[in-house]
C-alpha cells in the first residue's frame, strides 16, 4: 500500500511546499532571503493573530520552550506547571532541570486542568513568576482551559502565562492578546505543515518588561533577547533555517488563501467527524474535553497493546500514534491537523475498521464510522475550497 | 544572471539531495526512518573517521556547541578559548555566558594560534578543564594548529579538547582519535552539503568519563547525555529533523562513492587554485596559514568596503562573503567547500576579475587568474570523478 501519515507530527507537507523547498538553496544574507524573512514575519503575525514579536529558532518546539524559560525567567523563579500528559509534565521537568522551582499541578491523564486549583496555588504562592499550560496536550488529545487560566494570570502584573500551542496553532482560534498569553510557543511540523526544525514563539511586552534587568538562566544559542534584537534588523541571530523558511513562506501563503476562519472550521469538522466515527464503532474516547488536533481512543476490550497502530503500520503502511508513557498500549491516537482533509478522515476510519476486525473486535456494523462521519464532513465538499 | 553561491555556508545542496528531501515526509517512528537513522549513524562515523558516538541535534553548529559545553563541563570550570576570528571569539563569549570561566588567548585576526602560548596558559592553570579551538576559522580563512594543541592536551587526563570543525569536516583529513579531539563539532550546511538545521558532535570516552558525577550547566533540550541514551536505542531524544536526516543519508552515500581521500584532494586542489588565482591578480591573501574551505583576500588599494561582494551580488547574482566584525569592509571571502568543483573555481575567478575591473582595480592582466589556476585544477578533469 502507499504510505499514509495520520500522526500528530510530523504531519504531511503539501506538495507545493516540498517542491519549493527543493529549489537550489540560497544564502541567508541576500536580498532574496531578506524578502522571504520579511514575508514570514508578516505571515507569522497574521497566523499568531498578534502584534507581538514572533521569534523563530532552529530547534524543535521543545528547544524554543527552553529558550523562553532561559530568556524570560531567573534562576530559582517559581513556575506553576500543569501535568495531565507527556508534554505538560515535560515543562515541569524542564523547569526543574533549568534551575527554576516548579510547582506542579497534577492532572490525571485525559482530564482537563481545574482552573480553580491553579488559582488556589497562585494565591498560596504570590511570588510565582510564570504559569505554563499546554493548549492541546498531544499525548492525550485534551484541550485545556488556557482561556480561563489566562484571565486569572492577566490580573497579576508579576506573573506571565506561557502556553504550549504546538498542536493548537493553525488548528483553532488562539490569540496571544485576546487570550492573555505572554509566550505562545509552536513548532513547524504540526499545524504549520512543514518538516520539523523550526520553533516559534510570540512574546508579550509584559514578558519582555518583566525580564528586564533580572538575572537569567544564561543561554547563548537559546536566547530570545538576541533573536529579538536580530529580528529588529530583519535577521536571525544565527544561521537561519533557510530551506524551512522558504517552505514557511509558501505555507503561510497557502494558509492565507484558505483563510483563518476556514482553517479553524475545517479542523473542527475533521475532529468532530473523527470522534463521531469512533463512537459509531462503539469505541470510547479518552479526552474529557477534546482537542481538534488529535483524537485519542481507548483500545476496545480484547484488543491489546499497540495492536491498532501496529496493524495499520504493518498491514496498511499507515502511521497513526499509540499511547505514550502512562497510556502506552492502552490507547491509539489519530491526528487531523495540518494538511489534512475530509477524505483523509474517511480513509483513516475505513482502515481502522478493517484492522479492528482483524484484531478480533467486531462490536460494530461495518461502515458505521463512515456513515456517521460523512454528514459532518459534507460541508467540506464545496467549490473554492481546494488547495 | 543565474544565481550562484560561493559563500562558506549555507553551501550548495546537490540536486539529488534536494530531490530526495522533496519526497513526502515520513514519520520518525517508522521502520523506514529507523533505517535512515541507522544508515546516518554508520555514515557519520565513517565521515568523522571515529569509533566515538556521533550525536545529532536539531540546531545549528552553535547550538550543539552550547550543548557540548552544558553537557560536559560544570559551572565555573576554566576553559581556554582561542580568539583570532569571529568564531574563536564566539566560543569565549559562549563560555562566559554559560557561567564557565574562559581564559582567552588573543590571536590577531588572520594569524594562527601559537601552540606554545596555549601550553604556557595550561601550565599556569593546571585546573583548566577544556581547551577550545577552531580548526578552520571561517571569518578569516585560517587553519589553526589543532593537531599541535591536541598532542599537549592529550597528556592531561583532566582536560578535554573541543574543536569547532564546522568548516573543516568533510574538507580535509581530521580525525577525533588520531588528532586527540574529545569533542569534534560540525554543522549540516558546510562541507556536508545540506541545508542548515542539524548540528553534529563526536564525543570521546574521556569526555564522557570526565563529566560523570559532576555538576552540569543544566540543559534540557541541549543535552548530549540524553542524546547518547536515545542513540543507543537508535533514536533521537526529541523529534528528529526527518527531512534533513533523509538528505543526510543521501549526502553520506554520495561522499562514500567519492571517497574520503578524493574529497580531501579535491578541496585541497580547489583551495590552492583559488589562492594562486588571486595572487595572479596581484591580490594579497589574509590567512597566515590558509584553510582549504575559504580564501580571504584583502581589498586591493582603491577598492573600498564591500565593493567586490556587493558588485558580484548586484551585477552577477553571485554570493560570496565579505569581512566580518574587525575585518568588515576590508576583505572578501570566496568559499570552496562542499558541493563545489573545478569549474566553479574558474567561474568565480572570472567573475571577480570583471568586478575588480569595474571597481577601478586594473593591476592585473585579464585572464591571469584563470591561467594560473587552470594547471592546478586540471587533475580534476578525469574520468570516474563525476557526481
For the residues A24-28, what does the mean pLDDT come to? 94
What are the chain B neighbours of A7 within 8 Å (beta carbons)?
27, 29
B223 in the same domain as B139: yes
Per residue in A302-328, pLDDT (tens digit) is 998 999 999 999 999 999 999 999 999
What single-letter DSSP state applies at residue A283?
P
* pLDDT value, residue B165: 98
Q: By the 8 A CB rule, do A106 and A114 touch? A: no
Measured distance between the N- and C-terminal CA atoms of chain A, rounded to whole angstroms: 24
Domain count, chain B: 2
A238 touches chain B (CB under 8 A): yes
pLDDT digits (tens, 9 = 90+) for A179-216: 999 999 999 999 999 999 999 999 999 999 999 988 87
What is the CATH number for B278? Answer: 3.90.1150.10
Q: Is A220 an 8 Å CB contact of chain B?
A: yes
pLDDT at B216: 78
* A294 part of a folded domain: yes
Question: Are residue A214 and residue A357 in the same domain, yes or no?
Answer: no
Q: What pLDDT, on the 0 to 100 scale, is given for residue A217?
A: 80
Residues B262 and B373 in one domain: yes
**Quick one: B275 and B141 in the same domain?**
no
Looking at residue B383, its pLDDT comes to 82
Same-domain status, B224 and B313: no
> For B242-252, what is each residue's pLDDT tens digit?
999 999 999 99
β partners of residue B55: B201
The minimum CA-CA distance between B141 and chain A, rounded to whole Å, is 18
A239: nearest CB among B19, B97, B196:
B196
Rounded Cα–Cα distance for residues B291 and B215 (Å): 37
Q: Check if B63 contacts A (Cβ < 8 Å).
A: yes
| Percent of residues, chain A, with pLDDT higher than 70 | 100
Q: Is the pLDDT of residue A218 over 80?
A: no
| pLDDT tens column, B140-192 | 999 999 999 999 999 999 999 999 999 999 999 999 999 999 999 999 999 99
* Closest chain B residue to the Cα of A14, Cα to Cα: B24
SS3 label, residue B161? strand
CA distance A17 to chain B (A): 9
Q: Which of A41, A92, A198 is nearest to B63 (CA)?
A: A198
When the pLDDT of each residue in chain B is averaged and rounded to a whole number, the result is: 96
Site from B197, B324, B335 to mutate, A interface, most A CB atoms within 10 angstroms: B197
Half-sphere exposure at residue B288, Cβ-oriented, CA atoms within 13 angstroms:
13
Contacts of B13 in chain A (CB under 8 A): 24-25
Interface test with A, best of B71, B221, B337 (most A CBs within 10 A): B221
Are A60 and B239 inside 8 Å of each other by CB?
Answer: yes
Q: How many CA atoms lie within 13 A of A112 on its CB side?
A: 18
Same domain flag for B251 and B305: no
Window 266-305 of B, Cβ < 8 Å to A: none
pTM over 0.80? The answer is: yes
B243 vs chain A: nearest CA distance in angstroms?
A: 6
C-alpha cell at A237: 541571530
The domain of A183 spans 15-257
**Same-domain check for residues A111 and A160:** yes
Residue A308 belongs to a domain = yes
**Among partner residues A18, A189, A242, which is closest to B239 by beta-carbon distance?**
A189
Give residues with Cβ within 8 angstroms of B305, minimum separation 6.
Answer: B299, B329
Give the Cα separation of B348 and B320 in Å (integer): 9
Chain Cα centroid distance, residue A83: 16
Q: For residues A21-56, b (16+ Cβ closer than 10 Å) or e, as one string? A: bbeebbbbbbeebeebbebbbebbeebbbbebbbbb
Contact A220 B22 (CB under 8 A): no
The answer to whether residues A151 and A273 belong to one domain is: no
Q: Coil, helix or strand for A161? A: strand
Contact at CB, A63 and B60, closer than 8 angstroms? no
Domain assignment present for residue A301? The answer is: yes
The answer to whether A274 and A348 have CB atoms below 8 angstroms apart is yes
| Residues 240-259 in A contacting B (C-alpha not used; CB under 8 Å) | 240-244
User: Does residue B253 lie within any of the structural domains?
Assistant: yes
In the numeric block, which cell numbers belong to residue A169? 496553532
A220 and B93 within 8 Å at the Cβ level: the answer is yes
Last residue of a domain, one of B257, B277, B307: B257
CATH number of the structural domain spanning residue B75: 3.40.640.10
CB proximity A63 to B under 8 Å: yes
| Pairwise CA distance, residues A166 & A184, whole Å | 9
Contacts of A154 (CB under 8 A, 6+ apart): A161, A180
Contacts of B58 in chain A (CB under 8 A): 58-60, 63, 196-197
Summarize pLDDT for B264-290 with one digit per residue, the tens.
999 999 999 999 999 999 999 999 999
Residue A348's pLDDT band (boundaries 50, 70, 90)? very high
pLDDT at B387: 80
Determine, yes or no, domain membership for B349. yes
Q: For residue A386, is it within any domain?
A: no
Predicted confidence at residue A228, as pLDDT, reads 96
pLDDT at B94 exceeding the cut of 90: yes
| Terminal-to-terminal C-alpha distance of chain B | 24
What is the rounded CA–CA span in Å between residue B289 and residue A47?
50
Q: Are residues B84 and B106 in the same domain?
A: yes
CB A1 within 8 A of CB A316: yes
Burial B286-305 (b: 16+ CB within 10 A, else e): bbbebbbbbbbbbbbeebee
Give the pLDDT band of residue B386 (cuts 50, 70, 90).
confident
* pLDDT one-digit tens code per residue, B208-265: 999 998 887 878 999 999 999 999 999 999 999 999 999 999 999 999 999 999 999 9
List of E strands, A314-363: 318-319, 321-322, 331-335
Cα B8 from Cα A52, distance rounded (Å): 34
Residues of chain A with Cβ-Cβ distance to B219 below 8 Å are 66, 97-98
CB B138 within 8 A of CB B320: no
Q: Which SS3 state, helix, strand or coil, does residue A92 take?
A: helix
**Chain B residues touching residue A221 (CB < 8 angstroms):** 59-60, 62-63, 65-66, 94, 222
Q: Output the pLDDT for position A154.
A: 97
pLDDT band, residue A386 (cuts 50/70/90): confident
Q: Across the interface, do B27 and A7 touch by the CB < 8 Å criterion?
A: yes
Name the average pLDDT for chain A. Answer: 96
State ipTM.
0.91
Cis bond upstream, residue B10 (ω within 30): yes
Closest listed residue to residue B242, CA positions, set B54, B46, B30, B19: B30
| Span B1-56, pLDDT tens digits | 999 999 999 999 999 999 999 999 999 989 999 999 999 999 999 999 999 999 99
Give the residue-averaged pLDDT of A242-252.
Answer: 97
Interface of A with B in 151-210 (CB under 8 A): 187, 189, 195-197
- Residue A155 Cα, gap to closest chain B Cα (Å): 31
Amino acid at each position: 500500500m502507499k504510505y499514509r501519515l495520520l500522526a500528530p507530527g510530523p504531519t504531511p507537507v503539501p506538495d507545493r511546499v516540498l517542491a519549493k523547498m527543493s529549489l537550489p538553496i540560497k544564502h541567508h544574507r541576500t536580498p532574496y532571503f531578506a524578502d522571504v524573512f520579511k514575508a514570514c514575519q508578516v505571515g507569522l503575525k497574521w497566523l499568531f493573530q498578534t502584534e507581538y514579536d514572533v521569534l523563530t529558532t532552529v530547534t524543535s518546539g521543545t528547544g524554543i520552550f527552553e529558550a523562553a524559560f532561559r530568556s524570560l525567567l531567573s534562576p530559582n523563579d517559581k513556575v506553576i506547571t500543569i501535568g495531565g500528559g507527556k508534554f505538560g509534565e515535560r515543562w515541569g521537568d524542564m523547569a526543574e532541570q533549568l534551575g527554576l522551582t516548579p510547582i506542579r499541578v497534577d492532572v490525571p491523564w485525559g482530564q482537563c486542568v481545574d482552573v480553580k486549583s491553579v488559582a488556589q496555588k497562585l494565591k498560596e504562592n504570590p511570588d510565582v513568576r510564570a504559569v505554563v499550560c499546554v493548549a492541546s496536550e498531544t499525548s492525550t488529545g485534551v484541550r485545556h482551559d488556557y482561556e480561563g487560566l489566562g484571565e486569572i494570570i492577566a490580573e497579576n502584573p508579576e506573573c506571565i502565562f506561557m502556553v504550549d500551542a504546538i498542536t493548537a496553532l493553525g488548528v483553532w482560534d488562539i490569540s496571544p492578546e485576546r487570550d492573555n498569553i505572554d509566550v505562545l510557543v509552536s513548532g513547524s511540523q504540526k499545524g504549520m505543515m512543514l518538516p520539523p526544525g523550526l520553533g516559534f514563539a510570540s512574546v508579550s511586552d509584559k514578558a519582555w518588561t518583566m525580564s528586564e534587568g533580572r538575572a537569567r538562566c544564561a543561554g547563548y544559542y537559546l536566547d530570545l533577547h538576541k533573536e529579538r534584537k536580530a529580528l529588529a534588523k530583519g535577521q536571525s541571530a544565527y544561521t537561519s533555517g533557510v530551506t524551512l523558511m522558504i517552505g514557511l513562506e509558501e505555507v503561510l501563503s497557502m494558509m492565507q488563501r484558505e483563510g483563518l476562519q476556514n482553517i479553524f472550521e475545517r479542523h473542527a469538522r475533521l475532529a468532530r467527524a473523527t470522534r463521531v466515527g469512533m463512537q459509531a464503532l462503539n469505541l470510547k474516547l479518552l479526552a474529557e474535553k477534546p482537542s481538534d488536533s488529535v483524537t485519542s481512543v481507548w483500545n476496545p476490550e480484547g484488543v491489546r497493546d499497540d495492536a491498532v497502530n501496529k496493524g495499520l503500520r504493518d498491514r496498511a503502511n499507515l502511521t497513526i500514534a499509540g499511547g505514550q508513557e502512562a497510556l502506552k498500549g492502552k490507547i491509539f491516537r489519530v491526528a487531523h491537523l495540518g494538511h489534512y482533509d475530509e477524505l483523509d478522515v474517511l480513509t483513516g476510519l475505513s482502515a481502522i475498521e478493517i484492522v479492528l476486525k482483524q484484531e478480533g473486535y467486531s462490536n460494530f456494523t461495518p461502515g458505521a464510522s463512515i456513515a456517521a462521519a460523512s454528514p459532518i464532513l459534507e460541508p467540506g465538499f464545496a467549490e473554492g475550497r481546494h488547495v
